[in-house]
Amino acid sequence: MKKNNFPLVLSMSLLVISLAAWVYQIQGGLIVTNMRNPFNWGLYIATFAFFVGIAAGGLIVSSSVYLFNLEPLKPFTRIASLTAFASTLGAMLIILPDLGRVDRMFQLFLHPNFSSPLVWDVVVLSTYLVITFLSVYYQLLPDWKPQSKEKAQKAARRVAYVGLPVAVLIHTVTALIFATQGSRHWWNTALLPPDFIAMAVASGTALVMVVMLLTMGKEGLVAHSGAFKILGSIIAGALVVHFFFLAVDLIIHGWWGGPAAEGLFAQLFGRYGALYAVELILLAVVMAYFVTGRKAGSYTGLLLSSLLLFAGVFIHRMMLMFPAFNDIPLHFINTGTGAGWSYPVALGHFQPGMDVFVSFWPYVPSPVEWAVTLLPFGMVGLVIALALRFFRFLPERQVRGASVSSTGYKASVSR
């Protein structure tokens, strides 16, 4: 592979910008964000959910190979595990700037409260980080120590089996952070965990696809068109399932009508209707592209639809926040007129001429929040760029008619 410094330099710059913004935020406090008391989670938590989602790719690809014998995906397992490890790291990182007191993080280990889904998430995400690291390690091991090939292959396989349920758990538990909350209508649904899994399968698979396309180029697409076709089908299937959950969820939220549904739908289709429409259209277009595609698709088509998918999933994560927080739970209905009224919440910030008590907060992330949010992007980029530079993650160039690859890994999966 020819050495291209651009990804490395870009990732490092993102990291430097985000760390500088984070230092600025630590000095001033979270007041430099646009989050306030009535809207206490924003871009950071949405980004966290996004990265947890794209961390799914690794285990999906390797377990597809082991469990469903999808042979064409074999050369992708190394890179898939790598993206999973990097994205999990990114997800865990973006939580840190969201904490008001990151210096007290140790309290999590001294006094964990096991009724909190947040603690469950710390446990499963740490476990997943270790598992994806081991998965990468055991797949690379034969390159360094050819004599330990068989041992490493066995270990890699075991890791993949243990990893699959943990992969399912990170999405389930991340969704449970929201879904358990009875005071937020938009989150409080048992469909949230399965829908998080559907979104994770779609976006995690797309990440593997994008990394493969960018690193192998058009030649790679031609050489591995079968594998790309499978990835496309996985994305298509996951999006179909997502739209099914979405439809069922909207029907259940709306069917009874009444104040709860009205409050939520006023946000979903009223105030945030345009943003919601963009999310739905993006995801629908991507679904249509992958569902209708007979062949693997063109280089540009695959790349573009994957990027549109990321945009759609990111908006979906932001849309977790808007209708949840601006549908204020302490809401009353005037028994005479039927009009709704939300009990105003104090912002936690005083500025002359501005209301302190609000029943709606027009949250838009501040420039500092956007800058800090580059942190996981920089870290994921850096990990992938460094790994690709020093280790062999990509399948070897194919020679027509010859064996697909000479990696020790190939042999490990053929039974």
Partner 1 sequence: MRLGMVIDLYKCIGCRTCAVVCKQVNSQPPGTWWNRVFTPGSQHHQVAPRQTGRLKMSFLPVSCQMCDNPACERVCPVGATYTDEQGVVLVDLERCIGCRYCMSACPYGVRQFNWEDPKQAKEKAGYAKGYTYGYPFPQRDKKGRLVYTPNRPKGITEKCTFCVQYTSKGELPMCVQACPAGARHFGDLDDPNSTVGRLIRERETIRLLEELGTSPKVYYLSPNKPE
- DSSP letters of 306-369? HHHHHHHHHHHHHHHHHHHHHS-SSEEE-TTT--EEEPPEE-S---TTS-SEES-------HHH
CB of 274 within 8 A of CB of 235?
A: no
* 105 makes contact with partner 1 (CB under 8 A): yes
> Would you say 6 or 350 has its CB closer to partner 1?
350
Q: What sign for the dihedral angle of Cα 287, 291, 292, 294?
A: positive
* 184 makes contact with partner 1 (CB under 8 A): yes
- Report the alpha-carbon distance of residue 273 to residue 177 in Å, rounded: 25
* 226 makes contact with partner 1 (CB under 8 A): no
Strand partners, 345: 358
- Among the listed residues 112, 258, 362, 367, the single contact to partner 1 using CB under 8 A: 112
CB of 46 within 8 A of CB of 71?
A: no
At residue 300's C-alpha, the angle toward residues 298 and 304, to 5°, is 120
- Judged by CB under 8 A, the stretch of 159-167, 244-252, 340-348, 372-380 that binds partner 1 is 340-348
The pair of structure tokens assigned to 61 is 């690809």
* 116 makes contact with partner 1 (CB under 8 A): yes
CB of 45 within 8 A of CB of 98?
A: yes
* 29 makes contact with partner 1 (CB under 8 A): yes
Report the nearest approach of partner 1 to the CB of residue 38 (Å). Answer: 6
* 122 makes contact with partner 1 (CB under 8 A): yes
* 36 makes contact with partner 1 (CB under 8 A): yes
- Judged by CB under 8 A, the stretch of 29-37, 76-84, 229-237, 388-396 that binds partner 1 is 29-37
The pair of structure tokens assigned to 315 is 């908006």
- Among the listed residues 332, 370, 396, 406, the single contact to partner 1 using CB under 8 A: 332
The pair of structure tokens assigned to 68 is 């469903």
Report the nearest approach of partner 1 to the CB of residue 46 (Å). Answer: 13
Please, which of residues 229-288 interact with partner 1 by CB under 8 A? none
- Among the listed residues 37, 127, 189, 233, the single contact to partner 1 using CB under 8 A: 37
- Among the listed residues 8, 108, 250, 278, the single contact to partner 1 using CB under 8 A: 108
Among candidate residues 117, 132, 130, the one with its CA nearest the CA of residue 173: 117
Q: In this structure, which amino acid lies at residue 257? A: G
Q: How many chain residues are in contact with partner 1, going by CB under 8 A?
A: 59
CB of 29 within 8 A of CB of 355?
A: no
The site for partner 1 (CB under 8 A) is made up of 28-31, 33, 35-38, 40-41, 98-102, 104-105, 107-108, 110-113, 115-119, 122, 177, 180-184, 324-325, 328-330, 332, 334-337, 339, 341, 343-351, 356-357
